[in-house]
A and B are shown apart, each in its own frame.
Chain A
Amino acid sequence: MHFLHMSWLNFKGQRAAFNFEEFILLDTAYPFLTLVFYCVMAGFAYGTTDVTDWVIGNAFMLCTNTCLFSLGTCFVGERYYGRIRSIIVGKTSKFEIVLQKGFFAAVVSVVTTLVGFALGCLVFGIGLSKVPWGSLLLVLIIAMFAVMGLGMFLSVLGLVSHQIHMISNVMWYVLLIFTGTNFPISQLPESVQIISYLLPMTRSIAAARELVAGAKLSLVRGLLFGEVAVAFTYLVIAAVVIKYAEKIAIKNGTLELF
């Protein structure tokens, strides 16, 4: 309960400046417009009107907006509000703090992605009835978990770097280019394709596309296990690095510098 209470407080704090319309604009309308933009571009580039694969890929990319930027920049916010020193010297695990900050952001991301996907299907004429919603939700939750792992890793970097906004933005582009969201991974040079499989989302997007194309959940099991493995890897790396980053942050004494 304490975890949920703190998560809710953090979430309210992040969104307190916005009224309901602005919240909808930021978390649903704008991401949806981004999805439409990439799908229209793909339709033109590939000369097709069937943009199902791009609707799926870009809908999944919507969850990276919230997870990467909310989690990645969480310590930057604390620095601005003057709470970073208290967090560092406090007893609460930093890992728990990051998890608290990410919980409701992840819930909003799941809703945004599903709404974005449903609206995308309506706009681009994809039959909603053939979408296996249950399986898709499962894939989405796994994808979210994996991106949160990456987001946590980035948030840890926020303790030692002042350039976390830039790092988060670069990472967003890395995901856009390397996860096969808008063009096949096979189009990339072979040596670069390795990066794709080290990133979250690559397998989730492939699994979601297969599911919408009519495959059974059991057929994409391998991809989903792979995605869970990627998520755990990033979480473990984040957990290890957070201790190290904490020490560096204390040693450098530059936590409150902008």
Chain B
Amino acid sequence: MLMQIIKDTMFLQMKQSFVRPMFRFCLIANPIVNTIFLYEMYLQKGADTFLNYVVLGAGLMGIWSCICFSSIGDINRERYSGTLALIYVAPGGFGKIIFGKVLGNTMLSLLTFVISYITACVLSAFTWGEESSGIEKFLSTIIHIENIGYFIFASVMLILTFVLISICFAFILMLSRKTELYMNLLEIPLIFICGFTFPVEVLPQWIQNISNCLAPTWAVRMLRSSQMNWESFGILCIELLVLLLLTWVLYKWVDRRIRINATLEVS
């Protein structure tokens, strides 16, 4: 029953998200333009930087945009559609429905990695042209993954991190009537602090301390490592547990506030 609710919600959400032009923009156009931008920015840098900060950077930016403007914004959309209260009291459970929605969006948004990779390939083929071996050289540099098993594991940890963060924000924003404002304000700070497009080590120490308290920073570090980084994994697990606990406490608190205020449908 539990899995059925999550699975059905996930597939429904994927379909609903994909028909929205703004989601398609975040999913398809955003990684393309971000890759072009990052490609030009890191043109002078080496192949390692290129893979870590152009392809992964653009993909991560794309995922986070999709999450900000869909997973978090979905609360607002349900409110406008008049279905928020209905899914809130549905017998299946609001938590499971939200989990299914966020999981659906996050899975779909993984496509941004593929799109940014293809864009980077096309760009390098154009730029390098005849003077080198062109796209073959690029592909041989960039597609090489040291440990494919570890890469898949790190990707799963990344998905888990994003799912938990999204659920956490979705619960917080349920109480607010200004979801649109806050979801717009969430995009750049996380990309900046968690080092999606440059290493957090270039930031001042006090910002690095904040970065290290955030699970996505460690998930991104894991993804960038070529082999199992036990330190990152350990810290990430602890931070995910804290996040899970925080989400649970938030859910209970938000649930109580919603029932007291009775303003769930007020937009």
A-contacting 9-mer, from B3-11, B29-37, B209-217 = B29-37
Query: Do B25 and A44 touch across chains, with their CB atoms under 8 A apart?
Result: no
Residue of A nearest to B36 (CB): A177
Taking beta carbons and an 8 Å cutoff, which residues of A are in contact with B? 17-18, 22, 25-26, 30, 33-34, 36-37, 40-46, 163, 165-166, 169-170, 173, 176-177, 182-183, 187-189
Those 10 A-B pairs whose CB atoms lie nearest each other, nearest first: A173-B33, A44-B198, A37-B192, A45-B41, A183-B40, A166-B25, A44-B202, A163-B21, A34-B188, A166-B21
- Which listed residue, A42, A173, A177, A183, touches B43 by the CB 8 Å rule? A183
Query: Do A166 and B189 touch across chains, with their CB atoms under 8 A apart?
Result: no
Total number of B residues with any Cβ neighbor in A under 8 Å: 28
- B166-200 near A? 1/0 per residue, CB < 8 Å: 00000000000110010011001101100001110
Chain A residues with CB under 8 A of B202: 40, 43-44
Shortest Cβ gap from B116 to chain A (Å): 14
Chain A residues with CB under 8 A of B43: 183, 187
Query: With contacts A40-B203, A41-B198 known, is A33 near B189, CB below 8 A?
Result: yes
Query: Do A40 and B192 touch across chains, with their CB atoms under 8 A apart?
Result: yes
Chain A residues with CB under 8 A of B188: 30, 33-34, 37
Query: Do A41 and B197 touch across chains, with their CB atoms under 8 A apart?
Result: yes
Residue of A nearest to B202 (CB): A44
Residue B128 interfacial (CB < 8 Å): no
Shortest Cβ gap from A43 to chain B (Å): 7
Chain A residues with CB under 8 A of B44: 45-46
Residue of B nearest to A22 (CB): B181
Residue B259 interfacial (CB < 8 Å): no
Query: With contacts A44-B198, A44-B199, A173-B33 known, is A188 near B22, CB below 8 A?
Result: no
Residue of A nearest to B191 (CB): A37
Query: Do A42 and B40 touch across chains, with their CB atoms under 8 A apart?
Result: no
Complex Cα gap A244–B12 (Å):
40
Shortest Cβ gap from A169 to chain B (Å): 6
The CB with the most chain B CB atoms within 10 A, among A37, A43, A189, is that of: A37
- Which listed residue, B33, B177, B185, B203, touches A25 by the CB 8 Å rule? B185
Residue B42 interfacial (CB < 8 Å): yes
Chain A residues with CB under 8 A of B191: 37
Complex Cα gap A176–B188 (Å):
15
Residue of B nearest to A258 (CB): B80
Query: With contacts A17-B178, A26-B181, A177-B33 known, is A33 near B41, CB below 8 A?
Result: no
Query: With contacts A34-B188, A37-B192 known, is A182 near B37, CB below 8 A?
Result: yes
- B212-232 near A? 1/0 per residue, CB < 8 Å: 000000000000000000000
Query: Do B198 and A40 touch across chains, with their CB atoms under 8 A apart?
Result: yes
Chain B residues with CB under 8 A of A166: 21-22, 25, 29
Residue B253 interfacial (CB < 8 Å): no
- Could you name 25 residue pairs across A and B whose Cβ atoms are closer than 8 Å? A18-B178, A18-B181, A25-B185, A36-B192, A37-B192, A40-B198, A40-B202, A41-B41, A41-B197, A43-B202, A44-B198, A44-B199, A44-B202, A163-B21, A165-B22, A166-B21, A170-B25, A170-B33, A173-B33, A176-B33, A177-B36, A177-B37, A177-B40, A183-B43, A189-B126
Residue B144 interfacial (CB < 8 Å): no
Chain A residues with CB under 8 A of B189: 33
Chain A residues with CB under 8 A of B192: 33, 36-37, 40
Complex Cα gap A126–B212 (Å):
29
Complex Cα gap A30–B198 (Å):
19
Complex Cα gap A173–B42 (Å):
17
Complex Cα gap A34–B29 (Å):
20
Shortest Cβ gap from B176 to chain A (Å): 10
Shortest Cβ gap from A122 to chain B (Å): 14
